A and B are shown apart, each in its own frame.
Chain A
Amino acid sequence: MARNLSMKDAINEALDQEMSRDPTVIVMGEDIVGGSGSPGEDDAWGGVLGVTKGLYAKHGDRLMDTPLSESAYIGAAVGASTCGLRPVAELMFLDFMGVCFDQIFNQAAKFRYMFGGKAETPVTIRAMVGAGFRAAAQHSQMLTPLFTHIPGLKVVCPSNAYDAKGLLIQSIRDNDPVIFCEHKALYASETDVPEESYTVPFGEANIVREGSDATIVGYGLMVHRASEAAETLAGEGIQCEIVDLRTLSPIDTDSVVESVENTGRLVCVDEANPRCSIAADIAATVSQQAFSSLKAAPQMVTAPHTPVPFSPALEDLYIPSAEAIADAVRKTMAP
């Protein structure tokens, strides 16, 4: 049966159910059990924000606390995936990807291609993304575009608990490397989640709200900001359609283009920095594929081209707001 579950608990349940279903699924990462020397009891930490809490007590040594060496354990996870396991490696913050990038983009992403399709790399790398936690420039970035740039990687960023569970199960069952991005600010957000295992397919956007005047495209936390903006705009008689991309590689261009063909207006929202962002990608694709449908220039609402500030006041200004999204929509509506 379905019940209300937070995104954090939905991710925990996905890991639990896949570990129960498939003995080749293992979980590794920094403090995912509870830190070095932890007895692994139920009250162990279970990750820096408790997402893997309780899994060690149930699945034992298939969860592994790793040393503070991302290059070592991400490499180990990639290697294990080529040898028959389905590792889920938790990288804590996506910002730490820098020190293990070779393992991801030169190794994991390349094997299928370089071995003529004979090698599979079913590794899932989970990591927190996004700003708003007063965690400064090295723990707050939205680095999704770095990974969508690389062929061979699949990139996922859910906006709610239902999608998080289904997309994570799909990620684990998928035979390619998946970068699974979890927005910290959404861990507590709740929605109806079935108890049973289920999947959400890659490359299928979700139409969160239907509308005929403008299309707002986003993912992760930005879907919620877009919903707030759409609510405000509805009061002004502007009906927005919201497309939640859910997966960024593969990306559901068809749903975006189809929506813009109906609305004629496009606002792309991205918490990432603007240059070469998902927003820029969507704007370019729509301009090319649906130019004749556009009634106004596509607008982009993104973070500025700066690191995430540590000043709380500046950090709040840094993250795209519902007001900024509403303003961008109004701009497309201007005669």
Chain B
Amino acid sequence: MSEANITPVLMPKWGLSMSEGVLVDWLVDEGAEITVGDEIMEVETDKIASAVEAADPGVLRRRVGDAGETYPVRALLGVLAPPDVSDDDIDAYIAAYEVPVDEDDDEGAAAAYEFAETAVGRLRYASRGDDGPALVLIHGFGGDLDNWLFNIDALAERARVYAFDLPGHGQSVKAIEDPSLAGLASALQAFLDTVEVDSAHLVGHSMGAAVAARLACDAPERVQSLTLIGAAGLGPEINADYIDGFVGAESRRELKPVLFNLFADSELVNRSMVDDLLKYKRIDGVQEALSSLAAELFPGGTQSAQLAADIDASGLNTLVIWGSGDAVIPAAHAQALGNAAIEIIDGAGHMVQMEKASAVNALILEHIG
């Protein structure tokens, strides 16, 4: 049996609610030599469209999935194998492949989200992974825990990963008692208390990076390391058109061009992303939450919180990741920190953890050791 040499290419599972996806197109031909990180196919879910990067090397011996068709998560879409594996063995492998039954399917999508009753109210979160150090993912302004859908599973290979919705965001409590950075940092602390995590590696994106940094300065004993992605709090500039546009947009037509600011590749902004954000913005209390946060943190197109000196003084092991094409917060802000490792990723915008997920995941895993 040469099955050990055969590696399946599967429909990925992006985020907790994904049950199926469309194989939009193949990006490589049969017979192509694949190296890890190559973009091999384009997949679209009801949330997002993205290229799938190869997780394993090999020759793409067979394209099993057809472009344009919908497949369940973990369906066999292709087969990687060395040239010496016979076609018969590959046929046999394909014939024998069964999509694994996910024990938490059906009601699983809902059950995979949990809720923590904290000192600042009910917070939604997801947790993955059983072993390793605790790692907490903190999304940015107007985001939610699904901003980490390409990261949470990869990071869970080596850490107990928590991703949660900040107050005013996602499916967490919408009222924000203290719409300041300190208020959000205390919400993060309240979350850590409720899920009984004494100290964690903090990975924050944008405003969430500033929240992580604020907690690291206020309560350094709770923080093992910092990863700051497209971070707020490291310089005065921020794209006011994005912040004001996001807060003010009342329709698809108004919101869609605003979201183009988030990605280097504007194709990633699809209708369901726009619709989901509009649905979020239309929940009672969300406009008030976003307006008060924007007024407090980003008044008049500037950032009110400047944390670089405090982060340097904390002596925490800090990694800074930025998309070179970030149109929301300039990548030049990465240079504000004296003692941090700095990684600028080409071809990515503000949502670099989505656009270049494998690279970001590898950097984080290396950083937490």
A and B co-occur in one complex: yes
Shortest distance in angstroms between A196's beta carbon and chain B's nearest beta carbon? 5
- CB of B359 within 8 Å of the partner chain: no
Of A55-63, A76-84, A104-112, A200-208, the segment with at least 4 beta carbons within 8 Å of chain B is: A200-208
Give complex CA distance A201, B249 in Å. Answer: 13
- CB of A68 within 8 Å of the partner chain: no
Shortest distance in angstroms between B63's beta carbon and chain A's nearest beta carbon? 21
- CB of A199 within 8 Å of the partner chain: yes
Give the contacts of A1-58 with B (CB-CB under 8 A). Answer: 1-3
| CB 8 Å contact bits of A147-178 with B (1 = contact, 0 = none) | 00000000000000010001000000000000
| CB 8 Å contact bits of B274-318 with A (1 = contact, 0 = none) | 010001001111000000000000000000000000000000000
- CB of A304 within 8 Å of the partner chain: no
Please indicate the chain B residues that have their CB under 8 angstroms from the CB of A194 in the complex. Answer: 171, 279, 283
Partner of B115, one of A1, A196, A199: A1
Give the contacts of A184-214 with B (CB-CB under 8 A). Answer: 194, 196-201, 204, 206-207, 210
Shortest distance in angstroms between A231's beta carbon and chain B's nearest beta carbon? 12
- Look across to chain B and name the residue whose beta carbon is closest to the beta carbon of A199: B282
A1–B124 CB distance below 8 A: yes
Taking A1-B110, A1-B115, A2-B171 as contacts, is the C-beta distance between A200 and B282 under 8 angstroms? yes
- CB of B250 within 8 Å of the partner chain: yes
- CB of B205 within 8 Å of the partner chain: no
B113–A196 CB distance below 8 A: no
Please indicate the chain B residues that have their CB under 8 angstroms from the CB of A197 in the complex. Answer: 283-284
In the complex, number of A-B residue pairs with CB atoms less than 8 Å apart: 34
- CB of B139 within 8 Å of the partner chain: no
Please indicate the chain B residues that have their CB under 8 angstroms from the CB of A200 in the complex. Answer: 282
Taking A1-B113, A1-B124 as contacts, is the C-beta distance between A196 and B283 under 8 angstroms? yes
A198–B279 CB distance below 8 A: yes
A196–B174 CB distance below 8 A: yes
- Look across to chain A and name the residue whose beta carbon is closest to the beta carbon of B173: A196
Shortest distance in angstroms between A219's beta carbon and chain B's nearest beta carbon? 18
| CB 8 Å contact bits of B220-252 with A (1 = contact, 0 = none) | 000000000000000000000000000000111
Give complex CA distance A1, B113 in Å. Answer: 9
Shortest distance in angstroms between B257's beta carbon and chain A's nearest beta carbon? 15
B282–A1 CB distance below 8 A: no
- Look across to chain B and name the residue whose beta carbon is closest to the beta carbon of A2: B171
Shortest distance in angstroms between B322's beta carbon and chain A's nearest beta carbon? 33
B171–A1 CB distance below 8 A: yes
Taking A1-B110, A3-B110 as contacts, is the C-beta distance between A196 and B251 under 8 angstroms? no
A198–B282 CB distance below 8 A: yes
Give the contacts of A292-325 with B (CB-CB under 8 A). Answer: none
Give complex CA distance A201, B254 in Å. Answer: 14
Give the contacts of B124-181 with A (CB-CB under 8 A). Answer: 124, 171, 174
| CB 8 Å contact bits of B111-126 with A (1 = contact, 0 = none) | 0010100000000100
Give complex CA distance A200, B275 in Å. Answer: 11
Please indicate the chain A residues that have their CB under 8 angstroms from the CB of B250 in the complex. Answer: 201
Give complex CA distance A100, B34 in Å. Answer: 72
Give complex CA distance A1, B109 in Å. Answer: 12
- Look across to chain B and name the residue whose beta carbon is closest to the beta carbon of A203: B251
Taking A166-B282, A196-B284 as contacts, is the C-beta distance between A210 and B271 under 8 angstroms? yes
A207–B271 CB distance below 8 A: yes
- Look across to chain A and name the residue whose beta carbon is closest to the beta carbon of B170: A1
Please indicate the chain A residues that have their CB under 8 angstroms from the CB of B251 in the complex. Answer: 201, 204
Shortest distance in angstroms between A226's beta carbon and chain B's nearest beta carbon? 17
Give complex CA distance A196, B252 in Å. Answer: 21
Give complex CA distance A194, B286 in Å. Answer: 13
B110–A198 CB distance below 8 A: no
Please indicate the chain A residues that have their CB under 8 angstroms from the CB of B279 in the complex. Answer: 162, 194, 198
Shortest distance in angstroms between A141's beta carbon and chain B's nearest beta carbon? 32
Please indicate the chain B residues that have their CB under 8 angstroms from the CB of A201 in the complex. Answer: 250-251, 282
Shortest distance in angstroms between B279's beta carbon and chain A's nearest beta carbon? 7
Shortest distance in angstroms between B47's beta carbon and chain A's nearest beta carbon? 13
- Look across to chain A and name the residue whose beta carbon is closest to the beta carbon of B115: A1
Shortest distance in angstroms between B176's beta carbon and chain A's nearest beta carbon? 15
Interface-central residue, A2, A199, A206, by most chain B CB under 10 Å: A2
Shortest distance in angstroms between B271's beta carbon and chain A's nearest beta carbon? 6
Please indicate the chain B residues that have their CB under 8 angstroms from the CB of A198 in the complex. Answer: 279, 282-284
Contacts A3-B110, A199-B284, A201-B251 supplied; 18 other A-B pairs, CB < 8 Å: A1-B113, A2-B110, A2-B171, A166-B282, A194-B171, A194-B279, A194-B283, A196-B174, A196-B284, A196-B285, A198-B282, A198-B284, A199-B282, A200-B282, A201-B250, A201-B282, A204-B252, A210-B271
Query: What are 13 A-to-B residue pairs whose CB atoms are below 8 Å?
Result: A1-B110, A1-B113, A1-B115, A1-B124, A2-B110, A2-B171, A166-B282, A194-B283, A197-B284, A198-B279, A199-B282, A199-B284, A204-B251
**Residues of chain A having any CB pair with chain B under 8 Å:** 1-3, 162, 166, 194, 196-201, 204, 206-207, 210
**Residues of chain B having any CB pair with chain A under 8 Å:** 110, 113, 115, 124, 171, 174, 250-252, 271, 275, 279, 282-285
